[in-house]
Each structure stands twice: as structure tokens, then as C-alpha cells.
Structure 1
Amino acid sequence: MKKLNVDVAIIGAGSAGMTAYRSALAHTRSVVVIESGPYGTTCARVGCMPSKLLIAAAEAAHAVEQSHRFGIQVKGREIDGQAVMQRVRAERDRFAGFAVNAVQAWPEEHRLRGAARFLSPHVLAVDDQAEVHADRIVIATGSSPIVPSGWREHLGDRLVINDDVFEWQDLPSSVAVVGAGVIGLELSMALARLGVRVRLLGRGGKVGPLTDPDLVGKAREIVAGALEFSADARNLDVTRDGDTVVLRFTEGDAHREERFDYLLVAIGRRSNVDGLDLHNAGIELGAHGIPPVDRYTGRVGDSHLFIAGDVTDELPLLHEAADDGRIAGDNAGRFPDVRVRPRRAPLTIVFTDPQIAIAGESHRTLTEREAEFDTGEASFEDQGRSRVMARNQGMIRVYGERHTGRFLGAEMIGPAAEHIGHLLSWAIQQQQTVQQMLDSPFYHPVVEEGVRTALRQLNHRLRMGPVPVERCLDCGPGG
């Protein structure tokens, strides 16, 4: 077994690990990145990019299906599942290739293939081939989908996770999706609009990351109008009959039994720490075996260890993983001169149709910390531009701080949420007041005028502005 001595060892070459590597290099060339799986990020290989490719195909199919609303009749609508999946795989491979090429361009001495585990706080064994002695260590091992115990054994290849979907050669005729979180929602809606019979099963009536009770109820209505949605499925039992998955569950007082080609499990992800032997790292372990970490420094306590990315089980988003990696890698490189780095305003987007966004603090976060806040809202059902585009579904709820008028956050389901979410998160980042936001330009006619309606109502409730104007003469409710 060869021995390596380095200043910084980074375990994992995903979004966080790659960014940590580049940041650490600014301070030392004595760095090694250890990876046991394929190079390339979760986002490019099995996450953000292939899912958006599938969603783009679904949006194209849906646009054709809805064209009659504009007086346009399209005959012979046909979805070629093989062509859809071929494009998904080809473009996915292209995106993933960029990350693979980036890693392979690193100096060979900076790359080490194999599974790392702690022998002691400063020593890692990498399979049976190397022993790495590192002054500082960054853990960036990512996360993996959770599969309930026994399901894989019962269902075999009829059970899939999101990773498997993007390897399909053709679209199946039917899929049951367990889990109404971000991944389950996006894939369910995309597959349904591509002609696949889908049953989405959730728990407790939750819809994605939404926490505002009024919005959750609206979202349930919208999703149920797009596909078969059991928002609170219980007593779930799955068996296999030939090449068919038999799904049994209760919904309210009703007992259901349905059959599908596949069961897609999307109930969450768990941190990849099994096999790391973190008990040998000389640190305190928290919930689920993850040590508590300071997200402003990436550091574990006062140790030489740093953590970055999805393995933290906090915000499994690419931009957050990259920020984690930048902070952890920089501090590991400059250690012991550890510096606090500010974090960006929170932003979550779900690429359903209509889209979902949470900017800043959610309703749940504000409620749990007992914040003094008021709420404004607006519906997109009668909002001018939304009706023009025949995308008039959803609503937005905005939150402002009493006594200061500072804008705190928003939750929404509606058209252009990916863009509106960015605008609102920028306002939060700049610590703007609701009045300052209202003093900014709003063009006519745009979907953002619905945001203005909600902000006007909020400002009035904060007692910091005039009585809200709910309609303009030319465009109807909501601007």
C-alpha cells in the first residue's frame, strides 16, 4: 500500500468536491481528490440536467395538446418515446462529459480512485491501494436515493430511482411514483404529459417544498388536475406479478389496488457516509451519523475537517453545493486561517407546470422562529399576462416584517416562478423593504404585475403604504 502525504484531501468529486478542489488550489498544490464512483456531478448525470431535458419534451407535447385554446388545431399528435429518451440520454451525456473532462484535466497526482475510509483523524485508507495522510480533509461524498427495506428484493428491475429513468430506451406505458417531493413532482408531471399513465403518491397532503397552508391546498388542486394524485396514501404495499408492479394502498376510507409497469421511488435522499468510518475521525457525530458543521465556514467544530455539498443533508441544490465547496475548500486550503463567508439568500425552484418557487424564508421557517410578519397574496387565475398565455393557474404569498417593512420571503406556484423567484431572492439578498420593491419598475403587461398586487396588499397590512389598488382599467384583476 502506497503512502501519500498531502495538505488537503477531498473525498468526492461532485459539484462540492470539484469546487473545493479549485478553491484549495489557491493556497496549496498539495491536494488530492478521492473518488470511488464515476466522475461527473449528480446534477449532470442523474439530476438537474436530464430531468430538465425530459421536462422540456413534456412541455413541447403539452403545448401541442393545448394549442386548440388559441384556435390552432394540430392533427396527428404522436409522442415517439424512443426519440424522446434518445435526446435525453445524448444531451445528458454531453453535459456530464464537461464535468468528466474537467476532472481528467487535473494533474494525475491530484486524482485517486477508490473508496476512502478513516483510519484515524488524519489518515485515510483508499481501498487496499493507498494510505493518505492529510493535514486537512474535506468530506464531499454527496447523497443517494432512499429505497424502503425489502422493496428492491420484491420488485427487482421493476423498481427504479431517478437515476434509472434516464437510462430508459423508451417511455413505459405506466408508472407509479412514491414521493411528492421535488423529484417525484417533476418526473410525475413530465411523464404524464408524455403520455405515460402516472399515479403519484404522497404523504400528509404535502406538495413539494411548499409550507404555506393556503398554497399547499392550491397546489394539491393543480397537481390533481394534471395527473392521478393521492396526496395522503397510507398502508402502502407493493408486490410483483410477472413484469407488473401491484400497488395497494388506502386513501381516506378507500382501499385501492392498481398495476403499473414500474414503481419509481422518490421519497428522499440519504447522506453517503456509510463506509467512511467517521467514528475514527475524532469528531462528534450528529443525527444520521453526520457531524454538525458551520455552514459559514464549512468546518466541523474546531477540527481540521470540513464538509460540503449534499452530504450535509441540508440544501441538496447544485448552487448550494458549489457554495459549500468554495467555502470549505478555501478554508481547508488556508487553514488554520479559517474565515467566515456570507451565504446567499435561499432560493428553491421546482420545474413543474405551473412552477413552484420559494425565495427567502418559507412560511414554516417564519412561523417556527415566531417571526412578526404579515402576508400578502395574489392569484394568477385572472392576472392579465397569465390569461393571455393561457397559463393562469396558481397564486403567490409574500411575507414582510412588521415594524421594519423588510421583505422576508415568498412561496408561489404559478407561471414564470423560476424567474420571479430570482427577482424576489435578489430583493432579499439586498435586504430591501416592501416599499422599495414597489418603487421598482413593473412593465405592463407582464406576470410580475401579479407580484406587485401581492406586495401592495402586504405593504397595506404592514401599515407602511397606501390602500392597495387591486385592478387597472385596462387589464382586469391583478394587473
Structure 2
Amino acid sequence: MEERSVDVVVIGAGTAGLGAQSAARKAGASVVMVEDGPYGTTCARVGCMPSKLLIAAADAARAVDQAPIFGVHPEGKRVDGRQVLERVRAERDRFVGFVLQQTERIPEEVRVRGRARLLSPTRVRVALEGSDEELELNARAVVIATGSSPYIPPNLKPLEAKLSTSADVFEWEDLPESVAVVGPGVIGLELGQALHRLGVRVAFFSPFEALAHVHDPKVSEVVHQVFDEEMELHLKVDAFDVSEAPGEEGGFIVRWHDAQGTPGEARFEKVLVTAGRRPNLEGLGLEQAGVPFNDRGRPDFDPRTTQVGDLPIFLAGDAANHYPLLHEASDEGRIAGGNAANFPDVRAEIRRVPLSITFTDPQIAVVGKSWRELDHEQCGVGEVSYTNQGRARVMAKNKGHVRIYADRDTGRICGAEMFGPSVEHTAHLLAWTIQCGMTVFEALNMPFYHPVVEEGIRSALRSLTGDLRMTAGNAEKLRYGPGT
């Protein structure tokens, strides 16, 4: 068995792994990056990019459906499911190609294909791909960036091979007639609504009431109302069961009891399981390496340093499951790679303000502190409904509700839960204000053009001033500041 000594071993070559090896090499470390699957990130191959391509097709179909509102009457709408999915795959493969080019530019001696497992905190054994040979790597530090995989609930495990996950959708040859979506989280809502708008009969099922991690009661109420008007939602279901449908037609029979205990049954061509993702940590030898676990059974790591306990092991990206988002994975990879290269000189970094976006229509975003994370005695709330917001009505997209939170004493903005048009953009504005430590009054002093959806944010901020413990100085700023 071949043995090699290196400074840093990176396990995984996705967004976090690529960032980690780059940061470690820039710090002067020798690096080996091990990957046991196809190159190409989750985002490019089965996540962010192909899902947005499907949503773009759904947006085009929706625009045709909505055109009569404006007096425009298109004729002969037809959705070619095969063509829709062919474009999704073609553009997806283009994005993956860019990642592959980036990966191939990494020196060959850095890249190793095979399955890695830890023998100790600094020893990694790799079963090399395509052979019976093994490689043992002795390192000063290890970065685990193994990504995540779709989670299949235990009661659906017997049918796992026949069910669809978010990764399978983009490989369908044609759009199905009907789909049952199990789990209306971020991925489930995005894909389910897109399929619905492309003419697929879609129903959502969940034992929970929340949609896409929205927990602010007022925002959640509007989210439920809007999506319930458009799509078939079965929330807080019990006795949920899926079985193969009899006969040549095939498909699946879904049975459930609703929140009132009333039984239901329906047949679907496909069942799409979007019940979340789980870190790829099995078989890595974490216990053998002495990795400490938290009360949720996950490796206990510090998100500021990405270090696991006091070990020379660092965790990044979806494997860390801190904020499983591309920009967070990129940051964590950079932090982990730098700290691994400089171990034991481990440095903490201030993390960016949390920002998550769900690309439904209307869009959903959670910025900074969510409703569940607030100190409700200390935080004031401002809000706006998009029902009569000027630009939203112009576009016939006047559905949604935004709530912004700020410290009652200092006026500093600390979070928001958002549902409405163009939220992917307005959420960034709020994230930037929080990251810069801005107060409500400072944000109101920024320019707001007319007519734009950003004016809705200004309305929510104005509303928020009424829930702060006002001082004379703050009142003066509010009265005379520009843009108010």
C-alpha cells in the first residue's frame, strides 16, 4: 500500500472542498483532495442551477396564463415537456462543464479518486477508484467536505428505488401527468410549483404545518393562503402511506389522514421526495478519529473556525449542515482550508449575515435572525402587505407580506421574514443593512426610487419605528432624514 505525507487532506470536491483545497494551497500547504463521486457541485448538477432552469420555464408558462389580466390574449399555449427538460439538461450540463474545467485546472497530484475514511484525526485511508489498491495519507489536518444526500423517510424506504428525489427530476424524459411532493420545504415548494405551472397535477404532503421554513405567524399565514389558493396542500397529515398502484397504468397510490382525521387517497404517476437532505458522514470513520458529537448526533464544530472540537479536523459545506447554501459552503471551505493549512494556529472569522431565499412565486426569504430566534421582548417588528404596494399592483404581483425586526433600544435591524415579489433582491438589501450594523433610521435615510418594490421595504421600516423605544435624537432623524 502506497503512503504519502501531506499537510492537508480534503475529503470531497464540491463547492466547500474546492474552496478548501484552494485556500490551503494559497497558504502554502501541500494538499490532496479525495472525491468518490462525479466531479461537479451539488448546486450545478442537481441543485440551484437546474431547479432555476425549470422555474424559468414555469415562469414563461405563467406569463402566458397571466397575460389576459393586461388585455393580452395569447392563443394556443402548449407546454412541450420533453423540450422543457432537454433545455434544463443542456444548460445544466453547461454549468457543470464550467465546474469541471475549474477542477481539471487543479494539479493532478492534488486530485485523488476514491473512497476515504479516517483511521485517526490525521490518517486517511483511500480505497482507490477502479482498483483494489489503497492509499494511506498522513496529514497535519483534515477537511471534511463530503456534501449531503436526499433524505428518505423510514416509511418510504421500501420503495426508495422507485421514488424520485430532486436529483431525479432533471433526468425525466418528459413531464409526468401527476406528482405527489412529500415535503414542502424549500426544494419541494420550488420544484412542485414549477411542475404545477407547467401543467402537472401536483399535491403536497407534510406531517408539519410550516412551508419553506417560514415561522413568523403573520408571514406564514399569507404564505399558506397564497399557495393554498394555487395548489393542493395537505399539511399536518397522519398515517401517510405510499404503495405501488396495481395494473398496467402503474404509478403510486398515496393514502393519508388530514388534520381533522379524514382519510384521503389519490393516484400519482410519480412521487417526489423532498424531505430534506442529510450530511454524507457515514463510513468516514468519525468515531475512530475521536470526533465529538452534539445532542443531535452531528459532529460538534465551531462555525467561526469550522474546527471539530480541538481536533485537527475541519468541517465545511453541507457536511457541516450549518447553513446548507452555496455561498455558506464557499465561505466554510475557505475558512476550513486556511485553518487546516495553518493548524494549530486556528483563527475565528465573523460569518456573514444568514440569508436564505426560496425561488417560488411569490418568493420567500429569511434574513438575519428568524422569528424563532428573536428575543421578542427586546425586538420590535415592522411590516408591510404587498396587497396595495404600487409597483406590485402594476405588475399584478401584489401578493405577499414582509416583517422586519430590530432591537427596540438601539434601532439596529436584526432580521426579517419575507414573502413577496422580487424578494430575492430586497432580501439582499436588508442583509447588507444588518451586516453593516445599520439602524432603522439609517436605512430610511437611504434613497428609494419611485415606483419600485423596494418602497415596500421602506414602508415596513417606517412601521418599525413605531415599535421602538424612541429617543428625541431618533425622532429627529426620522422627521428630517431624506428618503422618508
Q: State the TM-score bracket (shorter-chain normalisation).
A: over 0.9
The answer to whether the aligner puts 1:341 opposite 2:345 as a matched pair is no
Which residue pairs with 1:447 in the alignment? 453
Which residue pairs with 2:130 in the alignment? none
Kept in 1: contact 2:355–2:367 (CA 8 A): yes
Deviation at 1:298, TM superposition (A): 1.2
Aligned positions of 1:236-255 closer than 5 A: 236-242=240-246, 243-253=250-260, 254-255=262-263
Which of 209, 219, 227 is matched with 1:205 structurally? 209
Secondary structure of the equivalent of 1:327?
helix
- Superposed CA offset, 1:66-112 (max 9, x none): 00000000000000000000000001011011111211221111011
Distance 2:86 2:408 in 1: 53
Distance 2:229 2:148 in 1: 32
Deviation at 1:203, TM superposition (A): 2.8
TM-score normalised over the length of structure 1: 0.95
Aligned residues: 466
Kept in 2: contact 1:175–1:260 (CA 8 A): yes
Which residue pairs with 2:437 in the alignment? 431
Kept in 1: contact 2:118–2:286 (CA 8 A): yes
Distance 2:286 2:149 in 1: 18
Secondary structure of the equivalent of 1:461?
coil
Which residue pairs with 1:218 in the alignment? 222
Which residue pairs with 1:18 in the alignment? 18
After the TM superposition, which of the residue ranges 384-393 and 291-300 deviates more from structure 2? 291-300
Which residue pairs with 2:424 in the alignment? 418
Aligned positions of 1:163-182 closer than 5 A: 163-182=167-186
Distance 2:155 2:437 in 1: 49
Distance 2:53 2:384 in 1: 31
* Aligned-partner residue type, residue 436 of structure 1: E
Which residue pairs with 1:35 in the alignment? 35
Aligned positions of 1:273-284 closer than 5 A: 273-284=281-292
Q: 1:326 and 1:85, CA in 2 relative to 1: closer, same or farther beyond 3 A? A: same
The answer to whether the aligner puts 1:149 opposite 2:154 as a matched pair is yes
Kept in 2: contact 1:123–1:132 (CA 8 A): yes
CA RMSD of aligned residues (A): 1.6
Which of 379, 387, 400 is matched with 2:406 structurally? 400
Q: Which runs of 4+ in 1 moved over 4 A?
A: none
Secondary structure of the equivalent of 2:154?
coil
Which ranges of structure 2 fall in alignment gaps of 5 or more residues? Answer: 128-132, 479-483
Which residue pairs with 1:311 in the alignment? 319
Which residue pairs with 2:82 in the alignment? 82
Which residue pairs with 1:475 in the alignment? none
After the TM superposition, which of the residue ranges 428-437 and 457-466 deviates more from structure 2? 457-466
Which residue pairs with 2:141 in the alignment? 136
- Superposed CA offset, 1:17-64 (max 9, x none): 000011001122410000000101000000000000000000010001
Kept in 2: contact 1:26–1:333 (CA 8 A): no
* Aligned-partner residue type, residue 76 of structure 1: G
Deviation at 1:155, TM superposition (A): 6.2
Distance 2:78 2:229 in 1: 22
Deviation at 1:231, TM superposition (A): 2.3
Secondary structure of the equivalent of 2:275?
coil
- Superposed CA offset, 1:323-348 (max 9, x none): 00010101111222211111111111
The answer to whether the aligner puts 1:231 opposite 2:235 as a matched pair is yes
Percentage of pairs with the same residue: 50
Secondary structure of the equivalent of 1:43?
helix
Kept in 2: contact 1:460–1:466 (CA 8 A): no
After the TM superposition, which of the residue ranges 118-127 and 35-44 deviates more from structure 2? 118-127
Which residue pairs with 1:104 in the alignment? 104
Q: 1:94 and 1:287, CA in 2 relative to 1: closer, same or farther beyond 3 A? A: farther
Distance 2:89 2:351 in 1: 34
Distance 1:395 1:185 in 2: 18
Secondary structure of the equivalent of 1:114?
strand
Which ranges of structure 1 fall in alignment gaps of 5 or more residues? Answer: 470-478
Distance 2:421 2:302 in 1: 36
Distance 2:8 2:416 in 1: 40
Secondary structure of the equivalent of 2:374?
helix
Kept in 2: contact 1:205–1:220 (CA 8 A): no
TM-score normalised over the length of structure 2: 0.94
Secondary structure of the equivalent of 2:383?
strand
